């Protein structure tokens, strides 16, 4: 049975306690650290080459082969086929964009966008939620829950609504959730609790609730969710004819994605499926830059699992003492207490990674460039492009290197940010953006006011031409 060859294991090297795959934990019961899903690869039919997965392109009438997550199920074999919950997630694309390449400063053909906004709920979160929902079904859960800045709740809600397997409760902060995301949770029928507080507060509440009641927690502390998110990297390799790029650039919020990417590469290397691991760049928004501060200013490293916990604890204690709250227009990464911090440090060690922070001004300009190139995304996603540009300017990324930026969420998630940006002009910023701290917009595409009159309309169009 496949499930015997998968288990859960504590990431702390001085603990390494293991747990059955049927157990439900949001952290190690012995030491409180995060858990991994691990595999006894010797007992599993692992493909000899990544190319072997191509056979599944021709059997797409099987929902498991259609799914962009589960067609790679041999690399996340914690469930048997009949337990898998899928709604056709992961039909996403890796596309080159030369206009974005030019903006970032790399050669034509070297900038690729992994467009995860094409998932059923419009963000990469579906890659993880299909896996978490599968585990929830394995353990007989009746209700699933999460805290969210918006996309996690939209994703969990769609899995509840589309499968009818679970009731769903989502906890959102009362502040800045983008309307597209809130509307999804409501429309998919999730019980939507608006907690008076921010994301970090909502997460603490939902963790306590799930510890008290038999409710299944689907935040990224859930190690099964991250197994699904590994598939984003499998699809990037698939899009590059199974060759690793030089760089993967991803926005960092709760750091689940970056953690999953590092695990995917470590496993593929161990299994001899890839020769070279790409470098990883994790990009924080300047208003939510915990990883940047710990990694670059305090030099906190994975260190084979012996992280400097005293330094980390002091950092968070000072954050609480000064009541420092995350604040960025990139609401999906407006998180000051990233739960997957240690796993992300591990990923940075595996992938010789770097961390940067970018301003909201730079994020929105990068977003406009992504949109003009035909691949709309939400603000948080554009942090990847702004980060790649910064790393290019700093000479860390070379023009000849191949760079993949992960576009984590769809443009229509947050139309207010987009319309606000394009309605601004240099020196005259949209009121909402201004109060959120935006000082400059470089590429607005303003709507043109024109009278309801054919001649005047024609004269406007002629002036454009
Ligand atoms: C969740 C989310 C992120 C942050 O990902 P983490 O795994 O939490 O670091 C970034 N962008 C979008 C659009 C998201 O929904
Ligand atoms: Zn432990």
pLDDT in tens, 283-309: 999 999 999 999 999 999 999 999 999
Sheet of 191-195: strand order equals: 191-195, 167-173, 143-148, 216-217
Q: Residue range 365-375: average pLDDT?
A: 94
Mean pLDDT estimate for the chain: 95
Q: Which residues, other chains included, contact 403 with Cβ-Cβ below 8 Å and sequence gap of 6+?
A: 104, 106, 110, 111, 112, 245, 246, 247, 249, 388, 397
Closest Cα to atom 8, ligand 1: which residue? Answer: 254
Give the Cα separation of 435 and 98 in Å (integer). Answer: 33
Question: pLDDT digits over 106-116, tens only?
Answer: 999 999 999 99
Q: What digits encode the pLDDT tens for the residues 167-214?
A: 999 999 877 788 899 999 999 999 999 999 888 889 999 999 998 998
- Ligand 1: residues with CB < 6 A are 123, 125, 151, 220, 251-257, 332-333, 378, 380-381, 408-409
**What pLDDT, on the 0 to 100 scale, is given for residue 95?**
96
Q: Which ligand is nearest to the CA of 338?
A: 1
Query: Using an 8 Å Cβ cutoff, are 413 and 122 in contact?
Result: yes
178 CA to centre of ligand 2 in angstroms: 36
Q: Report pLDDT for 81.
A: 97
Angle CA(380)–CA(386)–CA(390) in degrees, nearest 5? 145
56 in Cβ contact with 71 (< 8 Å): yes
Asked if residue 230 lies in contact with residue 260, where contact means CB atoms within 8 angstroms, the answer is yes
pLDDT at residue 349 in the model = 98
Q: Which of 257, 331, 382 to mutate to test the pocket of ligand 1 (most atoms within 8 A of CB)?
A: 257
Share of the chain above pLDDT 90, in %: 92
The SS3 of residue 79 is coil
**Per-residue pLDDT tens over the stretch 330-352:** 999 999 999 999 999 999 999 99
Using an 8 Å Cβ cutoff, are 311 and 351 in contact? no
- Report which secondary-structure segment, H or E, holds 388: helix 379-393
pLDDT for 178 equals 86
Average pLDDT over residues 11-38: 96
Burial of residue 263 (CB within 10 Å: 0-12, 13-18, 19+) is buried
At 431-452, the pLDDT tens digits run 989 988 999 999 999 999 999 9
For residue 403, the SS3 value is strand
353: pLDDT strictly greater than 60 = yes
250-276 mean pLDDT: 97
**Averaged pLDDT for residues 403-418:** 96
C-alpha span between 37 and 75 (Å, rounded)? 11
Say if pTM beats, i.e. exceeds, 0.95: yes
Q: Which of 408, 413, 417 to mutate to test the pocket of ligand 1 (most atoms within 8 A of CB)?
A: 408
**pLDDT, greater one: 392 or 465:** 392
What is residue 395's predicted lDDT score, i.e. its pLDDT? 98
């Amino acid at each position: 049975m496949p499930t015997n060859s998968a288990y859960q294991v504590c990431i702390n090297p001085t603990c390494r306690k293991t747990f059955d795959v049927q157990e439900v934990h949001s952290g190690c019961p012995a030491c409180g650290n995060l858990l991994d899903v691990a595999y006894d690869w010797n007992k599993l039919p692992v493909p000899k080459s990544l190319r072997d997965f191509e056979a599944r392109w021709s059997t797409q009438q099987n929902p498991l082969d259609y799914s962009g997550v589960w067609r790679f199920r041999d690399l996340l074999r914690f469930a048997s086929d009949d337990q898998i919950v899928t709604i056709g997630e992961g039909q996403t694309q890796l596309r080159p964009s030369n206009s974005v390449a030019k903006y970032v400063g790399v050669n034509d053909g070297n900038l690729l966008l992994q467009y995860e906004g094409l998932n059923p709920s419009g963000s990469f979160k579906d890659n993880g939620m299909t896996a978490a929902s599968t585990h929830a079904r394995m353990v007989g859960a009746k209700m699933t829950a999460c805290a969210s800045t918006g996309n996690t709740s939209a994703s969990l809600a769609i899995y509840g609504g589309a499968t009818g397997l679970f009731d769903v409760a989502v906890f959102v902060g009362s502040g800045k959730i983008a309307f597209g995301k809130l509307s999804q949770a409501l429309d998919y029928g999730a019980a939507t609790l608006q907690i008076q507080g921010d994301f970090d507060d909502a997460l603490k509440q939902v963790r306590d609730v799930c510890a008290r009641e038999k409710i299944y927690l689907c935040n990224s502390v859930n190690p099964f969710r991250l197994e699904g998110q590994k598939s984003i990297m499998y699809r990037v390799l698939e899009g590059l004819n199974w060759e690793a790029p030089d760089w993967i650039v991803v926005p960092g919020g709760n750091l689940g994605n970056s953690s999953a990417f590092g695990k995917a590469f470590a496993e593929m290397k161990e299994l001899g499926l890839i020769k070279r691991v790409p470098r990883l760049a994790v990009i924080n928004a300047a208003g939510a830059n915990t990883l940047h501060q710990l990694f670059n200013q305090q030099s906190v490293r994975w260190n084979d699992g012996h992280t400097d916990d005293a330094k980390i604890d002091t950092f968070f204690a000072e954050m609480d003492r000064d009541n420092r709250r995350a604040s960025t227009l990139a609401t999906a990464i407006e998180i000051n207490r990233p739960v997957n911090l240690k796993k992300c440090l591990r990923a940075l060690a595996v992938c010789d990674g770097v961390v940067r922070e970018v301003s909201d001004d730079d994020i929105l300009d990068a977003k406009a460039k992504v949109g003009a190139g035909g691949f709309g995304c939400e603000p948080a996603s554009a942090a990847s492009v702004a980060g790649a540009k910064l790393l290019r300017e700093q000479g860390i990324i070379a023009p000849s290197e191949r760079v993949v930026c992960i576009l984590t969420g769809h443009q229509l998630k947050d139309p207010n940010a987009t319309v606000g940006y394009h309605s601004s002009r240099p020196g005259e910023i949209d009121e909402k953006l201004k109060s959120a701290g935006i000082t400059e917009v470089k590429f607005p595409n303003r709507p043109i006011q024109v009278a309801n009159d054919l001649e005047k309309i024609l004269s406007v169009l002629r002036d454009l031409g």
